[in-house]
Amino acid sequence: MNSQLGVVTAMHCYLRKAPGSSNAENGSGIEDEIFSGWAIRRLEEPDENGWVKIETHYGYEGYVNTGEFREIQKQELEQRQSKEEFFRIGIGEADLLTIPKVQGLPLELLMKNAIVQLIQWEETTGWSRIRTAAGQEGYVHTKYLSRRMDDDAYLLSTDMEELDRKQYFLSRIADQFGQAGMEEERSGMEEQLRVLVTESAKAYLGTQYRWGGKSSQGIDCSGLVFMSYMEHGILIYRDGNILPDYPVHEIDRSQIRQGDLLFFPGHVAMYLGDGKYIHSTAFDASPCVRINSLKPEDEDYREDLDKKMTRCGSIF
């Protein structure tokens, strides 16, 4: 295998802690979930069972099977950065159909935030023709296609050892603010982004808790906040922690505002304002994405989390 780059062709695949067996089974813990069309970097040669260590476009590592992705050259990955040619699926799940009608046969199931290539926008009214990373061509409702805001520039870096990871991810945040020079303009863009990330998080309300998950089929706490920011071009650390080489920095609890993060032992939530926060919880009484409160007088107050909060964080 000459190339070190790849793109996921499976509907989705889980990053594992360790390699698996010859029958593609893997009993090690799930670390993360990535979707069709997402780019990866291969970090080592596959073992005899096809398991290989990879890195994602946001710097997370784990093991996948070679049957879940295909090798690509740098030129193809560069092409895949075109925002006019490559889009993400913007709803929970979408069928790729044989014809531009609801009566079409499903060819492939595309999960939310899968990356697809546009072949023809509105080939028929309401329908666009696309190609998936697995090479299937078909139709989806045009309204299911959303603009991709993040990119794979991290994987395109030529010298990873010299890359300042934190500065790289911070530069992506600066890009979202459009390098605005006027203080009032930057402030307005910040407020808009705070609203957008919380709205993205709310779209997962009621989704079951799934360890390592990041989809509408199941999502965990850090997956929820990661995806909510990623959908708007901001790449933060995938786990519920603050690391020095990622954008989130610690703030005082008295400073928390809409879109900021709340950290607990082994858990993370997103603050919504007015004492409310949204999180994906494995709590027995409500194992799903839900809203709770930091106010003792509220019915949805959780004292256990309020008392255990360790710190707060923000990208702003």
pTM of the model: 0.92
Across the chain, mean pLDDT equals 92
* pLDDT of amino acid 167: 75
pLDDT at 285: 85
Q: C-alpha angle 271/276/280, rounded to 5°?
A: 65
How many CB atoms sit inside 10 A of residue 179's CB? 8
Q: What is the per-residue pLDDT for 171?
A: 74
Paired sense of beta strands 93-97 and 127-131, if any: unpaired
- For residue 108, the Cα-to-chain-centroid distance in whole angstroms is 20
**Rounded CA gap, 252 and 45, in Å?**
45
Q: What is the pLDDT of residue 245?
A: 86
Q: pLDDT (tens digit, 9 = 90+) per residue, 252-272?
A: 999 999 999 999 999 999 999
Distance CA 75, CA 80 (A): 9
Could you tell me the fold of the domain covering 84-147?
Answer: SH3 type barrels. (2.30.30)
Express each pLDDT in 102-128 by its tens digit: 999 999 999 999 999 999 999 999 999
Q: What's the CATH superfamily of 5-78? A: SH3 Domains (2.30.30.40)
Which residue ranges does the chain devote to CATH 2.30.30.40?
Answer: 5-78, 84-147
Percent of the chain's residues with pLDDT above 90 = 82
What's domain 164-314's superfamily in CATH? endopeptidase domain like (from Nostoc punctiforme) (3.90.1720.10)
pLDDT exceeds cutoff 70 at 181: no
pLDDT confidence of residue 3: 56
Per residue in 115-169, pLDDT (tens digit) is 999 999 999 999 999 999 999 999 999 999 999 999 999 998 755 555 677 677 7
Q: Compute how many other C-beta atoms are within 10 angstroms of the C-beta atom of residue 301.
A: 14
- The candidate with the shortest Cα–Cα distance to 247, out of 188, 176, 181, 147, is 176
Q: Which residues contact 21 (CB under 8 A, 6 or more apart)?
A: 49
| CA separation, residue 235 to residues 43, 217, 218 (Å) | 21, 22, 20
